Structure 1
Amino acid sequence: MRAAFPAGLAHESLAPGRLRQAAVLVGMEPGKGVWLTRRSARMPTHAGQISFPGGKIEKFDSSPEAAALREAREEIGLDPAPVAILGRLRDHITGTGFHITPVVALLPEGVRLAPEENEVEALFPLPFSDLLNPEFPVRRKGVWRGGERAFWVWPHQDYVIWGATAEILRRLALRLRGGV
């Protein structure tokens, strides 16, 4: 995993605009996979959707990494001390007005996580076997805002992983597979 994010690796960072700046933690645990959350149905945005821990970059956050770690601590109880930041993936713009900086991190094996029940309904890993399988993700089509759109979907027995989360996972998979 570290080899996919060598020191000094440049990532594509988009210039901040009028979009809401956010950072997510793409946390990988050896032997488990990439940790994802199902957002609480009570959340004001993206309720019930599958996402990475993360959220708004606040003025007091020194960097997207700081924001992603702060949000992960708030949402899933992740202690930032043993986390190794590996780098970033290319920024992602959503159709719902967010500018997301994905921060990739290596979590210690057996990491203890405690979801914050008001924000997180479920916490689960997407196994590395799925992430590294070249047959995934699959492309689907649907109607959104009056037009047909194509989007990525990752297989999971319990959840539909699509949208920004699926795209960020796709970029991670390509990097880990040596394709980007």
Structure 2
Amino acid sequence: MMCTLHFPEMLFIIQVYVMAAGAYTSEVELSEQQREVSSVAEAVALLKDAIALMDVDNDGTLDCLTATRTQYDPDGWSATYMWNVVGSNGERFQVPLYFTPADKPDDFTLTTPIKPGQSFVGHMYYFDQESCVIIDMPLVGYQCALWITKERRDSVPQECFSQYAKHCGNGTDIQVKETCKDVERKDHFDFVSQA
């Protein structure tokens, strides 16, 4: 015996199917989004010595930038990083940045003596749990940067670059070997003691 479906019944079945497929897709997308959201605290715990590899605006602000974690408190987490920056005249100087939690696990609050009395909320787009992190730090404008651990400097996973393109767009290499040849020098201008 054959069952004949009329148009309203067929339409109802199609709507139920589409809603079920949409719910499944939304669950899969949500699951993927949840996997991508890591805690800034996890990244800070891993990144002791870091290198800013790429940024988006090609303005030279972050060229040759490295960071060394000088203080870390895992309880409630906070950290101080000493940025090693190249000035406009090529002279290198150090600037401390203080990181503390913000309202969401993938956000952080940033303060520094170069902008006294101000605090900034940054955002972490991606963290691979082992070698790279992609963050936006509004300290000096929109600076979506790819940071890597010092140990992975010459072997950055391709996924780090793919995630950078996804979240930040086209980036510029800010660790050009000729420009950054003395990045490991220790005789830097101490911005804090001179301020």
Greater relative contact order structure (CA < 8 Å, 6+ sep): 1
Compare the two structures and name the one with the higher helix fraction: 2
> Scaled by the length of structure 2, what TM-score is found?
0.26
> Scaled by the length of structure 1, what TM-score is found?
0.28
